[in-house]
C-alpha cells in the first residue's frame, strides 16, 4: 500500500511528512458538534474531546481533523463562524500540543484562518473552495495543507458520478493554484456520501484509481457512512466492519490518507493486511 505523490517538492511541511510515511496516513476524526451523524453529543465537552484526541494519537492517528459544524448531508444545522470557532478553539488549543498535525474541518475561511493562527496546519474544506471565495487565499497566506472535497446539494442517481467528481475537483484544484497554493499542498477527496447515492459512493471507491488523473494525493473519508447500511443494514456505530473493509479497498487503490473514527481498529487492519501481503 505504499503511496506515491508529488509532495516531495515540499519536504518541510507537515502534510508532506504525512505523505512520506510509505503507507496511508490515519486521520482521526474529532467532531465537537451536537449533531454529528456518528458522534452526536459525545465530544462537546472540552475535557472529553481532548481526552479522545489524546487517545486517538496513542492508538496511531497521524493527524487529527477537528470540526465544529456538522456537515452531514441530511439534518445538519448551519452555525455562525463565531459559534463554530467557540466550539473548536478550546479543543484545538489542547490538540496542537499532542505532537501530530491538526486539520481544521470547516467551509468558512474565517474559522480556517483562526484555526491556522492557533496551530492547525491543514484546512479540510468539504466544499472544495467553492462556497467561500476567501478559503484559497487563507490557505495560501498560511502556507497550509489543503484538502478539497467534492460535494453536491442533492444526490442525482442519473449522473455519471465519476465524471462529476473529476470536473468539480478540477475546478477546486484550479482555484487553489490560482490563489498561489502549491500543488504539493493539495489533497483531493471524492466526498463519499455527500450528494451521492449509496451506489455512487460504492462506485467511487471501486474506481478510486481514476482520481489519479490529478497527480495528487487522495483522501478517503468513508468511516461509518450510510452506503455501508445499504449493503449491510446498520446504525452508524454498528459499521466498524464495513468501514474497515472500505478503507482496505481504498488503500489498495491508492488512498494516501484515511479519515476514520476508529483509529486503533483501522491501524490494526492495515498492519495485518500488509503483513499478509509481505508473507506472499
Span 211-263, pLDDT tens digits: 999 999 999 999 999 999 999 999 999 999 999 999 999 999 999 999 999 99
Q: Confirm whether 208 is domain-assigned.
A: yes
What is the value of pTM for the model shown?
A: 0.92
Q: What is the pLDDT of residue 1?
A: 63
Q: Confirm whether 278 is domain-assigned.
A: no
136 pLDDT exceeds 70?
yes
Q: Confirm whether 11 is domain-assigned.
A: yes
Give catalytic residue positions: 225, 259
Q: Confirm whether 188 is domain-assigned.
A: yes
> Which parts of the chain are beta strand (E)?
25-31, 63-67, 102-105, 122-125, 145-149, 186-189, 219-220, 257-260
% of the chain beyond a pLDDT of 90 = 87
Domain count of the fold of the chain: 1
98 pLDDT exceeds 80?
yes
Q: What does the block give as the cell for 190?
A: 471524492
Q: Confirm whether 30 is domain-assigned.
A: yes
88 pLDDT exceeds 80?
yes
Which domain range does residue 225 map to?
Answer: 7-72+81-272
Q: Confirm whether 280 is domain-assigned.
A: no
For residues 161 and 200, the answer to whether their CB atoms sit within 8 Å is yes
Q: Which of 109, 136, 8, 14 is nearest to 64 (CA)?
A: 14
Q: Confirm whether 2 is domain-assigned.
A: no
The count of other CB atoms within 10 Å of the CB of residue 82 is: 9
Quick one: pLDDT band at residue 78, thresholds 50, 70, 90? confident
Span 13-72, pLDDT tens digits: 999 999 999 999 999 999 998 755 555 556 668 999 999 999 999 999 999 999 999 876
CATH number, domain with residue 220: 3.20.20.20
Q: Confirm whether 186 is domain-assigned.
A: yes
Amino acid at each position: 500500500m505504499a503511496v506515491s505523490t508529488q509532495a516531495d517538492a515540499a519536504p518541510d511541511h507537515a502534510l508532506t511528512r504525512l505523505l512520506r510515511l510509505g503507507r496511508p496516513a490515519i486521520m482521526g476524526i474529532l467532531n465537537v458538534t451536537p449533531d454529528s451523524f456518528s458522534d452526536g453529543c459525545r465530544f462537546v465537552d472540552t475535557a472529553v474531546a481532548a481526552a479522545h484526541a489524546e487517545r486517538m494519537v496513542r492508538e496511531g492517528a497521524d493527524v487529527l481533523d477537528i470540526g465544529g459544524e456538522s456537515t452531514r448531508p441530511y439534518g445538519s444545522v448551519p452555525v455562525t463562524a463565531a459559534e463554530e470557532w467557540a466550539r473548536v478553539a478550546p479543543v484545538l488549543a489542547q490538540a496542537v500540543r499532542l505532537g501530530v498535525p491538526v486539520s481544521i474541518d470547516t467551509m468558512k475561511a474565517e474559522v480556517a484562518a483562526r484555526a491556522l493562527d492557533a496551530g492547525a496546519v491543514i484546512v479540510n474544506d468539504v466544499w472544495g473552495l467553492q462556497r467561500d471565495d476567501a478559503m484559497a487565499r487563507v490557505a495560501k497566506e498560511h502556507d497550509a495543507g489543503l484538502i478539497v472535497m467534492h460535494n453536491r446539494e442533492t444526490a442525482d442517481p442519473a449522473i455519471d458520478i465519476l465524471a462529476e467528481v473529476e470536473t468539480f475537483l478540477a475546478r477546486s484544484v484550479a482555484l487553489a493554484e490560482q490563489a498561489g497554493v502549491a500543488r504539493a499542498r493539495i489533497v483531493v477527496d471524492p466526498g463519499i456520501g455527500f450528494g451521492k447515492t449509496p451506489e455512487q459512493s460504492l462506485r467511487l471507491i471501486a474506481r478510486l484509481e481514476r482520481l489519479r488523473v490529478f497527480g495528487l494525493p487522495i483522501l478517503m473519508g468513508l468511516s461509518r457512512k450510510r452506503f455501508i447500511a445499504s449493503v449491510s443494514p446498520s446504525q452508524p456505530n454498528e459499521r466498524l466492519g464495513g468501514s474497515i473493509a472500505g478503507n482496505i479497498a481504498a488503500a489498495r487503490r491508492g488512498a494516501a490518507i484515511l479519515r476514520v473514527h476508529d483509529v486503533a481498529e483501522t491501524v490494526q487492519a492495515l498492519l495485518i493486511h500488509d503483513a499478509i501481503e509481505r508473507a506472499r
